[in-house]
Each structure stands twice: as structure tokens, then as C-alpha cells.
Structure 1
Amino acid sequence: MGIEILYVFWFASIIMVGGYIVWIKKTSCKQSIVNERKVCEERIKFDSDIIYKLAFEDELTGLYNRRKFLIEGNDLLQSSHLAHQYALLSINIDKFTFIRSIYGYHTGNEILIKTAQIIQELTAKNGICGRRDDAGFAILFQIQEVGDISLLYESLAARISKIKIKENINYGLQILVGAAIYPTHGSRMSELYENVKFVEDQMRKNGNKTFQIFDNELKETILRQQVIAMELQEAIKNKEFILNYQPKIDTLSQKIVGMEALIRWKHPKKGFISPNEFIPIAEQAGLITEIGKWGLMEACLQNKAWQDKGYEKYIVSVNISAIEFYQEDMLDSIKETLKTSGLEAQYLEIELTESMTIIDKKQTIAKMKAIRALGVKIALDDFGTGYSSLSYLKVLPIDVLKLDQSFIVEIERDHVSKCITLSIIDLSRLLNIETVAEGVETKEQAELLSAMGCNMIQGYYYSKPIEADLFEERYMKIV
């Protein structure tokens, strides 16, 4: 045992680095005690360097690993004492898994190494960098103003996009970068990381951004949307939706000729929530079809109930979203609704937006024809706001064209809006399509539209959307 026993307390060292426990042991040798100590010290130093690299460095790129980056980042922030601004950036190589599957792991690793080198070069003077995960890196660097972040992003994007491993191969590398600012968006690395991750999630969902800086208002909006999405499920179960009705007035007789059913959400605690807010969320959450089917059924049941009371028979218009329209069972759903409610098809009108009709023209026109074959009318809503031309009207199987409010608002004082509106009305008349002007708010607008030959008017000038009981009281007349 000899030397080993003599120096057991000196040789037998337990070193903990980053949660790893390592036993350093020097075997016996025939050197002098002084030489033995020197050899052991060198061995311990060598082993310590290895342990440090294993614990704190990324093996492939040599950058800090996630753990070390967080430690160094927190130290850097704490030492600044809020005197400086720092930006935390997450950098992800877009579609890296796909690129590596095509060109192989070796090429993928080379891309990561070159990316790391670029990041190091651009942040060496005023920041630190690390590798977070497979294709993700992170930077924490000092900034003078928010614009510094954009400049760094542009430099990174430009240089990384030009990475070449093999000649004549363009990998089309693109990076997704999310950023959060210290101390505005957090005083610790964990807070900044959380907000950067939020930004990353939003970019992936939207799919139309490659760079975004965290925004507190945006986060509050998204969190509110998430709450609404959860509450919408309860709203469906608890039957918290109601339909309001807005009359359509004939421009010549000035009498009601129909009504549009508009959904409203009466939240038990928050009151009425605007459909402009909850409808897009319902579409994203996959709830719009169920809500839409309820709205269609409720409108048909209500219209039939009014007819059964002996009131004059009117057409009720119901909006259908693109998601509902392209469901395979859409036509069967309309048939079932008419059968269950007992409403004759001629008293139902389905409203589609102009943008829906250009998604898949062939399929759209076929479905529109199938709906009309049932006897149901079709109205094209918001015309003039999409990408179709007036000539497109001749191929669409529609009965009614609704002029968008954006034209109506300017019709009195804007010559272009007036000319466009008049052209649409004249062409619709030639094609035997009725026109409805929506969003009419003044007497002058109503008179001008009537003089142009518009068939129907809808808007606050006559009535805002109101609940069924009040609508019945105001507009329903016994035949």
C-alpha cells in the first residue's frame, strides 16, 4: 500500500461539478514523494479539465451548454445591477431535422459547428453564447437600444444562410429568432427564457415570422385567448350563446324583407363578448363547427316559430365559416337542420365571404351549386374586400351580393367608392343578382344607395342587431 496509504487523504478527492461525482485516484509508483505529488497534481488538473468540459461545455461546438449558459447569464445580469440592458436571444435553425435527414449527420454536425462559430464571432465582445438543444443556440448580450437586437438578427441570418459544407450545395438555411430584454421582460434568466419560449411558440403557430421580440401586451392577449378558448367549451355545454337579428329593408317599399342572424356570447361573468374576438379563437380551437351548427339550427327554428305564429314569411340569413363550409358533412348538416326545424329551404340563406370562394374555386362552386339545389339561397358577403374581380361574379352561383361596409362609409364623399359601388350594383342587376348594402348608418347613405338601384339596406340607420323577442315586437306582422 505504501504511498497510497500515506497520501490517502490527499489523493482520494471527491470532485462535484454540475451534479457529477468523480473519484480521483493515483495508483502507487516508485518515485519520490515530491515527484509523486507533482504527477498527482498534473493528473488531477488534467482530470479536472475533462470534468469541466463534460459538465459545462457542448461536446460538438465547444460553446457553453444550457446549464453553464444559465449560470453565467445570471451572474452577468446580477453584476449589472440594472445599470445595463441585455437581450436574450434564442436561435433555432429552421427545419434542421429535415436538412440532416437529407444530407446526413456529418453534414448536419458541420452546419451546427459553423453556426456556433458565427454566433461566437458576432457576440465575443459584448456577450455570451451557448447551445441549448439539438438545433438551438442562445445569446445574452449587452445592448444600447432595442434596434441592436434587429441588427444582430440580420447579421446572423445573412451569414448563416450562406453556410457551405460542400461546394455548389445551397442548404437554404433559415433561422428563427425570439428575443426578450433585461430588465424589461425579466430580472433573471429563468424569466427571460420563459418569455423567449413564449415568443418561439407564437412564431411556430403563426408560421409567418422568423424574428420577434417579446411583448407584454401580446402575451396578455394570447393568455386571454387561451382562457376564452377554454371558456368556449363551457359556453357550448351551458348554452351561453344567443342569436340577435338585424332587419334587411327594401329600398323601394322601405319594409322589412328579411333578417340576418348574428351570434352573440353572453358570458355569465364578463357579459357580452364580441364575436370579432371569440369567433377567430373558436376557429383555432376547433370549436367553430359545433357553434356554427347550433347557430344554423337556432336560426331555422326561430324563423319557423315566427311563421307558425302567422307572421309574414321572411328569409333568414346565416353566416357559414370557411371551416364549416369545407366540412365533408356540410350539405348533410343543412339538410338535417331543415328537416328537424321544419323550415322550408326557400326561407334560408347561407352567407359566404368572398375570400372563401377563391380557396378552391372548383370545389367551392360545386358545393355552392349543391346548396342551391336544395332550394337554399346563397349570399356573397363582404364583396370588394377580397381578390376577385367583377368578372368573377358571372361564374359564382349566388343569389345575393352584399356590398362591404368599407365602400358604404366613404360613398358620400369619395368618388372612387361611389363609382365602384355603382359598378357592382349595375353588374349585379344585369346578372340577376340582388344587392344588399351593409353598414348603412345615415339617411344620406340610404338615399344614395336607393338612387343607385341597390335592392336592400342593412345597418344601424334602421336597427342594430337585437334579440329575438324585441325583433318580433318591432318587425313581425300578422299576415
Structure 2
Amino acid sequence: MLEDCKYRELLEENRKLRESVIHLREYDPVTNLYNREAFCASAERTIRQTPQTRFEIICIDIERFKLINELYGREQGDLLLKYVAEQLKCLVREETHIAGNLRDDVFALCIPAYEEEVTVERILRIFSDKPLNSQAVPAVGVYRMDAEEPAAGSMCDRALMALNSIKGNDHHVAVYREGMRENLLREQEITNSMAAGIQNKEFKIYMQPKCNMETGKVVGAEVLVRWQHPEKGLLLPGEFVPLFEKNHFIEKLDLYVWEETAAWVRRWLERGRACVPVSVNLSRMDIFNMDVCSVLTDLMERYQIPTGLIELEITESVYAGQPERIIKETERLKKSGFTILMDDFGNGYSSLNMLSSTNIDILKMDMRFMEGEGLKSLGILDAILHMSKWLNLPVIAEGVNREQHVKTLRSVGCVYGQGFYYYRPMNTEEFEHLLLTPGKVDFADGGRKKVGSGHFLDLTDLFHKDTLTDRLLGNITGAVAQYSYDGTRLCVLRANGEYYRLMDEYWMNKSGHVDVMRDILPEDREKMTDALSRAKESKEKEGAEVFVRKRRGNTVLWLRIRFFCLTSQYGNDIFYAALSDETVRMNSIESLRISEERFRLAMEATNTVIFELDTETRTAYYSEYAQKAFGLDATVANAPEGFIEQGTVCEGYEETFREIYRAIYRGEDKASCVVRAKMGDGSTVLNRITLTAIRDKEGSTVKAVGMVENVSCSEVEDEEK
């Protein structure tokens, strides 16, 4: 009885920890509402389970939220999001009401249709009260479910289409109308002709040259795509790429573009011509849905293209989600000889400290933030150029469309540019003619010149104190700092507000004097010094990452730190570092590991056979005692058939044995049977096998725990009576 109680406690602990991990995966960390994927899944489930009720999706967007972040700071922006989320939670107290955060400042509700009027009124009231003294203005889009009952994701898209139709005007609420379907019909027409477009080679590759702004000569090109549609004429990427990304056709298009690019490079080389590097684009879906490295490596081998002639551009926003996987794939591509460019920097994810975690070769800086011109824009540009110099990254400015752009970029030391001022995208025939024009191309440059000169930074760059640069540093997403390290003491030279909030406000006025190592737990300090050594050895190439713990008051934080060594001056090493708080994740992982280990030890310490069944993979995991007793492997796949195939279930009992597994797989809480089993020593015994389901918070069975007890014939007979 005592043992059974202990097992139940362990099972309950495991269940809570798994729920915690699932919560981190399904909920937005700022608002604690469902993320888009979980919201859509929950909405579809609710709609399916209550067919008698007509539902609506309401989407809410906070207009000019980025401006609110700039005026009041990201911390106040997050408080506004949390405030709105709490107010929306008050509207969804019933099981048929669901709230979610689709992205950033875009929220969604799924409610019964008869509550639309009062719900919209209450949503508008949330913002009319001027929450947190901000000038927050909502745009509300409503989609009323009709008989066709589309997927929840499509319902959200239609509600968003409605709210986008009123953004920026005096109306705050719009209902999706049939007239808005024209765009959807156009999308469907394009969707219906996608496959034929690939098959008929209607997609054409175009080249936009990259230039050295000091000489005006072409040093490379970006491969773009146009669709020569048989009915609609020439379509630009903006008309079809977003749709392709939505319906997962983008991978096929990218494969096509890569193939066409490689074929063109091979034909050009076979004509005995010199070629500049050309870059192709990789999307998030490419990286997540295919083995990109193998595909591209095979392409280079098949067409016998020299390393460096085809480069890879990965949009900055790709790194925003699951960056570990993106970084890992980037490393594989670099090891295979590819040059990696980060595209659209400054337009999307906008986090300078992200550069410390990514091993890229070239930074492509988006010039759209320069549309306002002025001192502030120049300061931002100057800051990015200094940051790239710290990391020894070449920079290419894209969107260089006017002469003033060129003058501004040259004034802050930017060497390379791409845009209409130099060349518009051109077809391959025009590009070939350009490559053959004397004096127009520098085949030896390649767009790799570093910002500034020399391998090491000089102190005027390292301690650049421009006010706007400091302001930009203060608005970097996440905690970043410059450190000085003399081999023993690690002191802060410069950091942003997020760093001081993470480390402790006490440090704000102690920079340069307090040893950072003092608050790192003693057992982790060696890991810190090792990471600093590794970062110094790798210099700008890779840096070094470390997970360490530090004290903050009465608590212990887990920190993830990425170090890059910038230079060495007067016996001290100067490092750039990006830090993040990993306490929740690391504690969850560690608690789950300890709980699993305790459960394993409990299994090993008893002669009662306990095993775990993974219901998704149908794999059973046994203790060492059970393996020996039954003559089993450590795991048994395809349960229950795996047991029967190994001969552990005696003839005549197979169907009884199968039935308890079927019961668990179809969702029952518990199932039990008595079978005659063959033991490892060749004997046969009667065993009672009991399976108990473990469910997630949605009620779905994710695992089961099994218990095997030896029983006598008399016990079985008594039960039957």
C-alpha cells in the first residue's frame, strides 16, 4: 500500500511537470494566452463538439503598437499586452469561449455568435479607458461562421482581413463581407495554377546586382523570381510568395529557383565566362521541412559549381522562432562551404544581440528604416555599422534607391549597396550582357570587404559613445554587455537596461569595478572561464556559449551567455556578450529529469513489475528486474504485438492481452486482465496486468503506467465467482 502511494505521488509529479512543459509550448510567454497554433486547435475542437452553436472569430489589433513601444519602452508595451490579455480573459469564463494571442499585439476570441454585440462593446471599452496612460487604439475584425465551417486558421485570416480594411481610419470595427472574397478568389486562382507554373517553367529567375559603392562596380547579385503567368502577365513576388508560404508551396518554388540558378551558373561557366557570386533565398519552411544542407550540397555537386559562387540569404525574422534549430542548420551549411547572408536586418526581428548567436558571413541591412532620414536614422545606421565592425561582419545595404542614400552610407563607412540607384532586377540575358561589359564588374571583390580596416578594433570604435548609439543599445531586445577580462576578473564596460534588470539594479553604477564572477555559483565559474577561453580562441568566427547559475537575492537564475571576443588591449580581453534568462526552462527540464530518475529507481527497487507505455509510439519501457524476469529487451516496440512476438504471452491468452491495450488506445482510463505468461527462466505463471492512462490537460492519453502482479489460480477463481 505504501509503495502504491509513492508511485501515485511520482506519477502526479510527472504529470504536473509535463503540463508545465506543454504550457510553455502552447502559451504566449508575455500574455499567458494560447498562441496561434493552440488557439486554432482549441477553437476547432469547440466548434466540432457543439455543432448546434454558430461561432464567431474576433481579432483585435493594437494600432501603431510599435510606436507605443518606442514612446513608452518595451516594458510598458508588455504591460499593455498583459492588461489587454487579462481583460479578454474576463470575457471567456465559459468553456465555449476561447482567447488567444496570434502574434505580438494581435489577439483573437472564439465566441458564440449571439454574444457578438456585447463582446465587441466590451473590447472597445478596454481601450477607451486609456490603459496604462497609452494612446492605444484597436482595430477589430469579425468573422461570422457560415455553413461551410472553414478551419479556424482560415476564420482568423478572414477576421484579420476585415480589421486590416479599417486600420488607420476612424472606424474601429469591421465584419468580414463576401466582397472581401475577391482577394481569396484571386489567391485560389493562383493556387490552382502553381503546379502548372513550375511544370511549364513559367517562373523566371531575375538578378539584382550588388555593388561596391566606392567603385560603382558589380561584385555580386541576388537571385529573385518573377512569374510569367499565361493569363495574368508578369507577377512580382509580393503577389504570390506570401500565398506560397501560407500553403507550403514555397519549398517547391525555392527548389525550382535553386535548380534554375545552378543550371544558369553551369551554362555560363561552360561558355568560359567569369562569374560573380549569386545568392538565393532560404525560407523558414525550407529549413524546417527539408534537409536543406543535403539538397544544396547535392545541387552543387551535380552541376559542378565551385564553392562560393552560390550564396545563401536567410531573412532575419527566420531566427525569431526556434533559433537553435536555425543556428544548427546554418552551421551545417557553413561547414559545407556555403556563404551565409542575413537578409533584411533591421526590418523584422530587430535585435542586434541576435548577431552574437548566429554564425553568419555577411549582413544585409534594410534601408527602409532610413525613409524618415534625419539625425535619429543616421544614429541607428551608425550604430549598426559599429556593431558589425565589432563582429567583423561585412555589410551590404539593400534598398539603396537614391543618391542621398549612397552619400549617407558612404559617410558612415558602408562599402556595399544594392538597389534601384544602381540596378533594377534584370533577366538573365541582361545580366549576362552586364557581366561582359568592360569596367562594370569586379570579379575579385565578392562583396566581402570588412567594415573599416584591420583585424582588430581601435579603442575609438570599441568605446564609441555617440548618444544615439547608446540609445539604440538601450533598446536592443534582450540583455547585452561589453566585458573586460584580465584572466581573473570579469567587469562590465558597457551594457543596456535589460542587462542591469537581469543581473541586478545594484550593478548600474558599479560598471568597471565589480567582478561579475562573484555572483556566479562557485561550481559554475570554471565553465565561465572555459567559455571565455573558447570565445577568445574562436575570435569572431563562432564565439562560445555557456549555461551558468547566479544568485539574485534569495533566488538562483539560470543564464545563457554567448561570448564573442572583440580584441585584446593592454593585457585585457574585451568581450561582447548576449544574455538570456533560462530559469523556467532549465528548472522544468531538471525537475522532470529528477522525477523520471526517481521513478526509474523506484521501478528498479521493487519486485513488482512496473513499466511505462508511450501511447503515441506504442513503446513499453521496463526496469532491469522486469527485463531479466521476462527475458525482454529494455524496450518493447509495437505493444501489444511486440510482447506476443517475443513469446511472453502463452497461447490462448493473446486476444485477452490485446484487448487491454486496445482499451487504453481508444481512450479508457484503466484496463486489466489475467494472462498466463512465459518467464525468462522458461516457467509459466498467471499474471494480472493493469494499465492506467495518464492524460494531458486537454484530456488526451499521452502515456500509460502498467503494473504486473503474479496471482494464483485460486485468486482468479475467487474473482470470477
Regarding TM over 0.5, the answer is: yes
Shift, 1:319, TM fit: 0.9
- Residue by residue over 1:236-273, the C-alpha shift from the partner in whole angstroms, topping out at 9 and shown as x without a partner, is 12110000101100122221110011011001121111
Amino acid at match of 1:136: R
Amino acid at match of 2:146: K
Q: Counterparts in 2 of 1:61-100, with a 5 A limit?
A: 95=42
Aligned partners of 1:198, 1:280: CA distance in 2, in Å?
A: 27
Other-structure match for 1:464:
424
1:415 to 366, 372, 375: 375
Other-structure match for 1:253:
215
Contact 2:327 2:358 in 1 (8 A): yes
1:295 to 257, 269, 274: 257
SS at match of 1:297: helix
Shift, 1:403, TM fit: 1.0
Other-structure match for 1:76:
none
Shift, 1:294, TM fit: 1.0
Aligned partners of 1:272, 1:344: CA distance in 2, in Å?
A: 32
Shift, 1:473, TM fit: 0.8
Other-structure match for 1:123:
none
Shift, 1:459, TM fit: 0.5
| Structure with greater Cα Rg | 1
SS at match of 1:134: coil
Q: Hey, which of these two has a bigger chunk of helix by percent?
A: 1
Contact 1:296 1:318 in 2 (8 A): yes
Other-structure match for 2:463:
none
Amino acid at match of 1:322: R
Contact 1:311 1:477 in 2 (8 A): no
Task: Say yes or no: does 1:405 pair with 2:367.
Answer: yes
Question: Alpha carbons of 1:236 and 1:163: their partners in 2 closer, same or farther (altered >3 Å)?
Answer: closer
- Residue by residue over 1:350-386, the C-alpha shift from the partner in whole angstroms, topping out at 9 and shown as x without a partner, is 1111110121111111110111111111111111122
1:277 to 225, 229, 239: 239
Other-structure match for 1:88:
none
Q: Counterparts in 2 of 1:356-367, with a 5 A limit?
A: 356-367=318-329
- Residue by residue over 1:286-334, the C-alpha shift from the partner in whole angstroms, topping out at 9 and shown as x without a partner, is 2211110110121122223323333333110111111112224211111
Shift, 1:421, TM fit: 1.2
Other-structure match for 1:135:
53
Other-structure match for 1:197:
146
Other-structure match for 1:317:
279
2:384 to 388, 405, 424: 424
Task: Say yes or no: does 1:436 pair with 2:396.
Answer: yes
Other-structure match for 1:393:
355
Question: Alpha carbons of 1:137 and 1:376: their partners in 2 closer, same or farther (altered >3 Å)?
Answer: closer
1:225 to 187, 191, 206: 187
Amino acid at match of 1:439: G
Other-structure match for 1:175:
111
SS at match of 1:234: helix
Amino acid at match of 1:205: S
TM-score when scaled to structure 2? 0.41
Could you tell me the percent identity over the aligned residues? 27
Task: Say yes or no: does 1:336 pair with 2:298.
Answer: yes
TM-score when scaled to structure 1? 0.60
Contact 2:53 2:112 in 1 (8 A): no
Aligned partners of 1:277, 1:324: CA distance in 2, in Å?
A: 20
Question: Alpha carbons of 1:229 and 1:250: their partners in 2 closer, same or farther (altered >3 Å)?
Answer: same
Aligned partners of 1:100, 1:352: CA distance in 2, in Å?
A: 38
Other-structure match for 2:407:
447
Aligned partners of 1:137, 1:391: CA distance in 2, in Å?
A: 43
Give the number of equivalent residue pairs. 321
Aligned partners of 1:423, 1:97: CA distance in 2, in Å?
A: 47
Q: Which has the higher contact order (CA 8 A, sep 6+)?
A: 1
Is there any run of 5+ residues in structure 2 with no aligned partner, and where?
1-39, 57-87, 100-108, 117-142, 163-173, 444-721
Aligned partners of 1:362, 1:445: CA distance in 2, in Å?
A: 35
Question: Alpha carbons of 1:400 and 1:230: their partners in 2 closer, same or farther (altered >3 Å)?
Answer: same
Other-structure match for 2:82:
none
Aligned partners of 1:179, 1:377: CA distance in 2, in Å?
A: 55
